[in-house]
Chains A and B, each alone.
Chain A
Amino acid sequence: MTDLNNRQSVDAALEKNRLPRQAGEWIERNQRVYFTFEGKTYGGFVGDTVSSAIAASGNKVMGRSFKYHRSRGILSLSNHDINTMMQDENDPTIRADVVSAKEGMELRSVNTFGGLESDRGRFLNLFARFLPAGFYYKTFHTPKWLFPMWEKVFRTLTGLGVVNVDSPRIRTPKRYDFTDVLVIGAGPSGLSAAIAAAKEGAKVVLVDENARPGGTLTYDHGGLDENLELLGRLLDEIKRNPGIQLRPGTVATGYYADNWVPLVDEVRMTKMRAKTVIVASGAFEQPCVFRNNDLPGVMLASAAQRLVKRYAVRPGRNHVIVTSNSAGYRAALDMASSGASIAAIVDFRPEGEPSTWHERAVGLGIRILPGYCIYEAIPQEDKLGVSAAIARKLSSTGETEESGSQTISCDTILMAVGYAPAANLLYQAGTKMRYTHETEQFVPEALPDNVFACGRVNGVYTVPAQLLDGDRAGLAAAEKAGCPVSRKASAVPAEAVSPSHPYPVIAHPKGKNFVDFDEDLHLRDFYVSVQEAFDNIELMKRFTTVGMGPSQGKHSNMNAIRILARLTGKSIAEVGTTTARPFFHPVKLSHLAGRGFSPERFTPMHHRHAELGAVFMDAGNWKRPEYYRCEGMSRLETIRMEVRNVRTNVGMIDVGTLGKIEVFGPDSVRFIERMYTGLFAKQAVGTTRYALGLDESGVIIDDGVVGRLADEHFFVTTTTTGSAQVYREMNRWALLWGMDVGIVNATGYMAAMNLAGPKSRSILAPHCNIDISDESVPYLALRTCQIGEVLARIMRVGFVGELGYEIHVPSENGLYVWDLLMKEGEKHGIHPFGVEAQRVLRLEKGHIIVSQDTDGLTNPFDAACGWAVKMNKPFFIGQRSLKIAQNMERKQVLAGFSLSRGYVGELPKESHLVIEGGEIAGRITSITDSEALGRVIGLCFVRPDMNVIGQAIQFRLSDGSMVPAEIVATPFYDPEGLRQKVQG
């Protein structure tokens, strides 16, 4: 960073345009900051923005435009345009107008090739006439082969800041907040509204995007101190009222249903929920459209006033003000009071300004040209500033008259021709707006319940009227928020003179009269759009891209609407506005991302799995061991070892993620009968049955096991990912059917593990307080017992095809039981196995996994599960659809397949297609290389006519090569099921 000597030497030069102390200024003159911009050192004061500090040095050029790379300077000084967008190493979108200058910043301009001054992209400006709006729709299509090159060229040319993917991750916590009344905007009407609401007892949060409250009161003074005095009184009142929380530097960036408003400040996003919302967001001052209106030195009058009053920076030395309202006169008076000379006030209105501001300007000897406009700004020789303005008289029809043209020397042109309401939040809230010629703007016609508007956004511009309007809105909002209101609001007087000109747009044969500064759109682009029949506002927006840049049309949409209305002969109301969507103002991704909340679910044995070397995988929001890493073995080798150990020895898997639901009550049997396709009415207590669940269209949605614990008590398991849905559906159906059942989701309450393999009984028996021999606990039995000191349920199930026990215990005892069995298993060679081994084991048995071997259209007949469907039952969910499906020609069936023994080559994968006669005839749903069987097996969907044992089929790999296979019977392994029924 800059050294001390350097700082001292630059101090004087950098304060070239700094004014003496201004009343109400925002800078701390006793605290210096230094930073660099484009490699040059700048100094400012604490409180300066980057733009104001640079402007204080006399440097007007702060950026390059998006398309033509034209020099750009301050336009709004309010974060509403991108003329002054900068970047540093980590942040590609620094809005220099509002970002505080900080010690050590190293800034550079965005969108340049070789730096701001020597930007090679500036030559694009010379080709502007060949690059009208929409040029890319009609060019570069042919020859086709050149398109990739053009694409590359345009991707290089376009874009603003450069994203540094190595930027440190910024964690910005989000928070929720609540209030009675949220006031958005702390200008005169917002301050007045907050005070009124709080006085009636409402809890008020008052936010403003600026670093300090006050809005126009902080800068729009007309050379007087009245507004500052008023602001002091209002802020004193706010400070004294504990019911008002003032949050400056906070942008309300959107409006969502039920008064949810995201408030974005420097460090976080707050999701504010308010009983009522008052939108006092003001209005965006609009530029005047004339040739070269984008030169550095041409700015909104309010920007110049902000520079002077907030930062004590002189925008220039010799000003021309083009205006159509009293604000232009006040700006002239403010500039004059700062010591600048005013070359002229160019007033669109032939009658001039009717208020006393006119008299004051005349009193200062300011030259006024009523009925004139600025036709063109004349650039300096280096094109980096303004040297003069050409003013022309306007005819009665609004055309410029060449005769009487006046060239006025100046270095600054201030534009004060009107406003567009900052009504984005109102639109998002569903406000019906109407266009009024009284103020030449859209104003709320019908506001939603609990939303109020006041001030400029409501079409109220004079300060006394704004105070009344705020008071009215504050009282109404407090009352709506439930506070008894003690008084009635006074009437708000209408505006005597429109603050906005109906058409501040001046045509010029040479163009460069910009309407949209973000996108470099000049007036001619809009003519082209209408010529091409993109002549409604939404189409025009897409064709021209007006309002689609980073400032989202804040300074272009209103003029675009006026131009379109003029070109199509429609009224502005008929043209209407584009849709305002949240966020209406840019929000940093770090704020949007905030602190990530992604809930994860762990079984009670999770940390033990980690100690055992588990490699975890996601199953819904659960973390499950995929396999347990073994020293010196690959993933595949490890999984094979886990499979082999279950087949020949014993293994244990954590199945606590399975859904577990208890169903109690007198109607529990009828309920289970209806929920699942099998027969359960005569199911004996102490037994389990396979359960297949369908939706009403007969599609398989889940499967599991139904265990009967007592006559009126069932224990149901579901798939891991299906548990929440099944539980929800059970409750829904119980309610609809009016059944007397109690349904308890025990998924999280119970840990579960499957002890499987020929030696499983030897491990469980010593710790179980009941006889678990085959006679006492046969295949498919369910028993309640104690394992160690823990109450447990054991089910003899055979998902993996070996003697096995699914053990369910309370979660808090899960680790104890797991450890107990693993310890006992040590002498039997037990090894934990993961999800991947289980997938292999179940596939060898030909068991399906719902949603892997089925899809959103698969019914039980398609999945070869017809055996599990008892169509002769009175009712089950999906039965009616299945009755229809039974009589329809089937399109696919699930079948077993095998590659030839000894197949060498790339293995097909799940979802590889079955090809028959060059056509798609199915797809693989599961596939594995089975060590136990010595061949590759799997399940696939095929056409029903192909589902014949021994039928040759072929799969197409990703590279197009074909792999032959044949249809085989399932189960592949132990087809008689002897191993799971083995008497150990």
Chain B
Amino acid sequence: MRQSPMEFLLTRLGVRFGEAGSMRIALSAADEKYESSCIENLGLADTTFLYRIGLKGPKAGQFLVSLGLPVPQEPNHWEPLDGGGYLMRLGMSEFFLEDGPSGTFVKYISEKLGPDGHAGVYPVRRQDAGMVLCGKMQNELLAQTCNVNFAGMDGSDRIVVMTSMTGVSVVMIQAEVNGEPSWKIWCDGTFGHYLWDTLLEIALETGGGVIGCARLYPELG
């Protein structure tokens, strides 16, 4: 019932599909041998199937703390969540949360907030396109698409980067996914097709390509 903005493009690439989070997902690339080299070199995965939600409002941080979540103290930082998710602080009063494949925080918060939110806590029903970029050439791809000095960043600082990539506004964090140093990238879903297509074009030129979600989340395979 849910659909990724990149599903059409993935179909065209002949990936092996499965299902997760009520969404058809690319479990693996058409050529699994090449996929293995992409993990090493430059891999791009569609992780839109993961559930996510945003919160806005002066009491949003307080609300998340009350739920026992690890809320970043400063804007533009993130904290990991149980189940492989992330809680990102986008501003003083704005948060973005993505569950891991087995996470349940989004559902829980969504139910708690209801459609109209609480006083001072407003739900943002985020529908981002989600992607993961991994491999040793990831900085080369980023250098061609974005004017942020990623090479100078340290993943352990848990910084949230909000910038423009190929002309599209994105939120990015540097994190390990299944032990692979990666960049997680989110953009407005309506730009997902364009961003994916553009990144993949560069990735292919750089000796990379599509990787399936099972490479990142083996439990899906």
Contact = CB atoms under 8 A, between A and B. Distances in A.
Interface of A: 173-178, 271, 273, 595, 597-604, 606-607, 622, 656, 662, 664-666, 709-710, 712-713, 740, 742-744, 746-750, 784, 788-790, 810-816
Given A177-B143, A664-B117, A744-B122, A602 B5 contact: yes
Contacts of A273: 147, 149
Contacts of A712: 116
B125 A713 contact: no
Contacts of A600: 191, 193-194
B166 A742 contact: no
Interface string B136-169: 0000100111111101100000000000001110
Nearest to A748: B188
B101 interface: no
A748 B119 contact: no
A764 B23 CA distance: 24
Contact of A810 (B58, B127, B143, B193): B127
B126 interface: yes
A24 B173 CA distance: 49
Contacts of A740: 58, 120
Interface in B181-221: 188-191, 193-195, 198, 202, 205
A814 B116 CA distance: 21
30 contacts: A173-B202, A176-B143, A176-B148, A177-B143, A178-B149, A178-B151, A595-B202, A597-B145, A597-B166, A599-B191, A601-B194, A602-B5, A602-B193, A656-B190, A709-B115, A709-B116, A710-B116, A713-B115, A740-B120, A747-B188, A790-B1, A811-B189, A811-B190, A812-B2, A812-B3, A812-B4, A812-B48, A812-B189, A814-B3, A816-B3
A604 B189 contact: yes
B108 interface: no
Contacts of A662: 122
Nearest 8 A-B pairs (CB), nearest first?
A: A742-B122, A748-B188, A178-B149, A664-B122, A811-B127, A812-B2, A749-B127, A713-B116
B92 interface: no
A664 B168 CA distance: 27
B81 interface: no
Nearest to A598: B167
B124 interface: yes
Contacts of A747: 188, 190
Given A712-B116, A713-B117, A812-B189, 9 more contacts: A176-B148, A273-B147, A604-B3, A665-B120, A747-B188, A749-B127, A813-B2, A813-B3, A815-B3
B57 interface: yes
Given A606-B193, A664-B57, A749 B126 contact: yes
B89 interface: no
Residue from A174, A622, A662, A743 whose CB has the most chain B CB atoms within 10 Å: A662
Nearest to A602: B193
A710 B122 CA distance: 13
B148 to A, nearest CB: 8
A749 B189 contact: yes
Contacts of B144: 173-176, 595
Interface size class for chain B? Answer: 35 or more
Contacts of B189: 604, 748-749, 811-812
A743 B93 CA distance: 12
Given A599-B194, A790-B1, A815-B3, A748 B127 contact: yes
A746 B190 CA distance: 11
B109 to A, nearest CB: 15
The residue in A273, A599, A622, A746 that gathers the most chain B C-beta atoms within 10 A of its C-beta is A599
B57 A665 contact: yes
A744 B122 CA distance: 9
Residue among B127, B143, B146, B149 having the largest count of chain A Cβ atoms under 10 Å: B127
A607 B115 contact: no
A603 B5 CA distance: 8
B167 A176 contact: no
A707 to B, nearest CB: 13
Contacts of B125: 746, 749-750, 810
Nearest to B11: A607
Contacts of B122: 662, 664-665, 742, 744
Contacts of A175: 140, 143-144
B167 A597 contact: yes
Contact of A176 (B54, B58, B115, B146): B146
Contact of B147 (A176, A622, A743, A815): A176
A742 B57 contact: yes
Interface string B110-133: 000001110110101111000000
A599 B3 contact: no
B163 to A, nearest CB: 11
A526 to B, nearest CB: 45
Given A709-B115, A816-B1, A178 B167 contact: no
A816 B22 CA distance: 12
Contact of A599 (B140, B143, B167, B202): B167
Nearest to A743: B56
A935 B148 CA distance: 58
Contact of A813 (B1, B54, B147): B1
Nearest to A271: B147
Contacts of B191: 599-601, 748
Nearest to B193: A602
A604 B23 CA distance: 14
Contacts of B117: 664, 713, 742
B127 A812 contact: yes
Given A597-B198, A742-B56, A607 B190 contact: no
A481 to B, nearest CB: 13
Nearest to A810: B127
Nearest to A812: B2
B23 to A, nearest CB: 7
Contacts of A812: 2-4, 23, 48, 127, 189
A601 B190 contact: yes
Nearest to A815: B3
Interface centre among B58, B116, B122, B194 (most CB of A within 10 A): B122
